[in-house]
Amino acid sequence: MTTDIRFGTDGWRALIAEDFTFENVARCAHGLCDHLKEAGVADQGLVVGYDTRFLSPEFAETVAAVCSAQGIKVFFANKPAPTPVLSYNVLHHQAGGAAIITASHNPGQWNGFKFKPDYAGSATQEITDRLEQSIAQIAPSSVQNVAQGRNSSLIVGLDPLPPYWERIASLVDLDAIKGAGLNVVVDSMYGAGGGYLPTLLAGGKTTVRELHGARNPAFPGMEQPEPIAHNLTEITSLIAKEGASVGIALDGDADRVGIIDEQGRFMTTLDTFSILAQYMLEQKNERGAIVKGVTSSIALNKLGEAYGVDVHEMPVGFKNIGPKMTEVDALIAGEESGGFAFRGHIPERDGILSGLYFLEYMATTGDRPTRLLQRLIDKVGLHSYHRRDIAFQASDRNRILGMVNSPGLTEVAGIPVLDSDTIDGKRFHVEDGWLAVRFSGTEPLLRIYAEAANPELVTKLLDGAVAYLRV
C-alpha cells in the first residue's frame, strides 16, 4: 500500500524503516522534480543536504540520484549541515530550492524531508499542497532502481559553510563577541550545528566549550534533540556547578535555539524571543514589524506598543510566519519553538544566528542573561510560561476538539476566560495571559500552553486544561 505523504508545519516526517524508506524518499524527490519543472525553476538546480541522523547521508544520496536522473543539477552538501546554512545556500547559488533530509527536533527514530523554495524559507501551504499532489502521482514502481538513472555529471559537491559564514560576519559583530571575554558553553545536541559556534568565535578572549558536538544518531541522554529544559540537564548542571557566562543549545538541525542563564536556569523560548526583539528595537535602534506565532509571548505585543511597531500574529509554523515576514519586511519573526528569523538574512529560523545575536547583546552591554531578562521585565512586566506535550490516541482527537471548541467554556480552573481566537487551535485570553490548545503539526502530540503573570497561575491554567480535557 502506497504511503500517503503529508507535509506538516515544516516538511514530511515519519519513522525510519516504517514510512520513511528509500522508496518513499525517492517518491518525494521525483514529485519535487515535477514541481520544480512546473514552477519553472528546475534549470536553477537544487541544493541537497542532510543532518546527522541515521541514514541521512544515504537518503540524501537517493534524492540526488533521482533529481539528477530527471535532468536537474544538484548542489550536494559534502557534510551534514544545519537547515539555515543549506537554506542560505539557496540564495547564494540562486538555486530553485533545497531538499533537506532532517527531522529537526524529533526523536532519533524519526527522519524527514524538508523543502525550501527559491526564496530560502519554509514552503507555504499552497506549495506543500501542490508538492503533495505531485508526490501522490508517483507510483513506487516508477522509482525503483533510481540509482541506475543517476547522472553524476549533474551532481556537484557543495561546501555550504563559506557563504554562510560570510553572511553571518556581515550581520553580527563577531569581533565584539570574541573580545568580550565571555565563557560560553554550547550544547549542539549531537546535531548538524556541531562545531559552528566554536569555530565562528575562535581566536579571542571569549572561550567556547562544546557539548555533544559529534554525530550520534541515537541522541543519548535526551528524549529528542530539542533545546528545552528537560533535554538540557547536562549543560544546566555544568553551568550551575562550574559557572559560565551563558549556555546556548541548538536543536538537531540548528534552526532552533535554547538559552541557559549564568545560574544554570533555562530561559523560556518566549523570554528569549522577547529579549532578542528588545535588543533589536532598543539597543540597535532598528524599526520594523514583529511577526510572532500565536503561542509567543504577549510581551512582544507590549514591546510593539512601546516602540511603535506593528505586531502580526500568525498560525504556528514558518510556512505561515515566513511569508508574512517577507510581506511586511519584518525586523524579527519567531515562534514559541525557539525558532527566530531576522531581517537581512533569510525568512527562516536560524538557531546559530539567534545565539550570536544574544551573545552580541551581552558583549555590547556587559550584561549577563539574568540582567537582560530584567531589562525586559522593567519594560513590559513579568510573564511566566510553560508548555505541556501530551501523547493522545487518534480515536480521541474528535472528542478533544469538541471540548476545546465548546462555546460554554467561560472559565478554566476558576480563572475567567475573557475571549478566544482560532488563529491556530484555540487560544483563550485571560487577564494578562492566555491558554492555548493545539495539535502538533509534526508529532502525535497535543500541546497545551499557558502564559500568565506568575508561575502559580501558569500551573493552575495548565492543570485546569488537562482536567477539563481529560488527557
Check if the beta carbon of residue 297 is closer than 8 Å to that of residue 376: no
pLDDT in tens, 167-224: 999 999 999 999 999 999 999 999 999 999 999 999 999 999 999 999 999 999 999 9
Residues 262 and 398 in one domain: no
Asked, for residue 87, whether it belongs to a domain, the answer is yes
Residues 359 and 444 in one domain: no
CATH of the domain at 323: 3.40.120.10
Domains contained in the chain, number: 3
| pLDDT score recorded for residue 8 | 86
pLDDT in tens, 90-145: 999 999 999 999 999 999 999 999 999 999 999 999 999 999 999 999 987 776 66
Residues 415 and 366 in one domain: no
Residues 125 and 193 in one domain: no
Check if the beta carbon of residue 384 is closer than 8 Å to that of residue 269: no
Residues 311 and 370 in one domain: yes
Residue 6 has pLDDT above 80, yes or no: yes
Residues 451 and 414 in one domain: yes
Residue 409 has pLDDT above 90, yes or no: no
| pLDDT score recorded for residue 144 | 61
The number of helix segments (H) and strand segments (E) in the chain equals 15, 22
Query: From the CB of residue 141, how many other CB atoms can be counted at a distance below 10 Å?
Result: 8
The alpha helices in 314-416, defined as continuous H runs, are: 318-328, 351-365, 369-380, 397-404
| pLDDT score recorded for residue 268 | 93
What is the band of 471 on the pLDDT scale with cuts at 50, 70, 90?
Answer: confident
Residue 38 has pLDDT above 90, yes or no: yes
More confidently predicted of 305 and 8 = 305
Asked, for residue 188, whether it belongs to a domain, the answer is yes
Asked, for residue 4, whether it belongs to a domain, the answer is no
Residues 214 and 322 in one domain: yes
Going by C-alpha positions, the residue among 331, 246, 326 that lies closest to residue 285 is 331
Range of the domain at 300: 172-380
Asked, for residue 407, whether it belongs to a domain, the answer is yes
Residues 185 and 230 in one domain: yes
Residue 331 has pLDDT above 90, yes or no: yes
Asked, for residue 409, whether it belongs to a domain, the answer is yes
Residue 147 has pLDDT above 60, yes or no: no
Check if the beta carbon of residue 39 is closer than 8 Å to that of residue 33: no
pLDDT in tens, 306-316: 999 999 999 98
Residues 121 and 221 in one domain: no
Residues 355 and 206 in one domain: yes
Domain finish residue from 346, 380, 414: 380
The pLDDT > 90 percentage for the chain reads: 89
CA 145 – CA 102 distance, rounded (Å)? 23
Domain finish residue from 115, 130, 160: 160
Burial (CB < 10 A; 0-12, 13-18, 19+), residue 118, is: middle
Asked, for residue 2, whether it belongs to a domain, the answer is no
Residues 308 and 271 in one domain: yes
pLDDT in tens, 176-188: 999 999 999 999 9
Asked, for residue 166, whether it belongs to a domain, the answer is no
Going by C-alpha positions, the residue among 5, 4, 1, 11 that lies closest to residue 317 is 11
CA 417 – CA 382 distance, rounded (Å)? 20
Check if the beta carbon of residue 267 is closer than 8 Å to that of residue 292: no
Q: At a CB cut-off of 8 Å and minimum separation 6, what does 4 contact?
A: 136
Average pLDDT along the chain: 95
| pLDDT score recorded for residue 334 | 98
Domain finish residue from 129, 160, 191: 160
Asked, for residue 3, whether it belongs to a domain, the answer is no
Say what the pTM is: 0.94
Check if the beta carbon of residue 295 is closer than 8 Å to that of residue 336: yes
Residues 134 and 152 in one domain: yes
CATH of the domain at 450: 3.30.310.50
pLDDT in tens, 344-403: 999 999 999 999 999 999 999 999 999 999 999 999 999 999 999 999 888 889 999 998
| pLDDT score recorded for residue 407 | 78
What is the band of 444 on the pLDDT scale with cuts at 50, 70, 90?
Answer: confident
Q: At a CB cut-off of 8 Å and minimum separation 6, what does 150 contact?
A: 64, 65, 68, 69
Check if the beta carbon of residue 55 is closer than 8 Å to that of residue 136: no
| pLDDT score recorded for residue 406 | 83
CA 404 – CA 421 distance, rounded (Å)? 11
The pLDDT > 70 percentage for the chain reads: 98
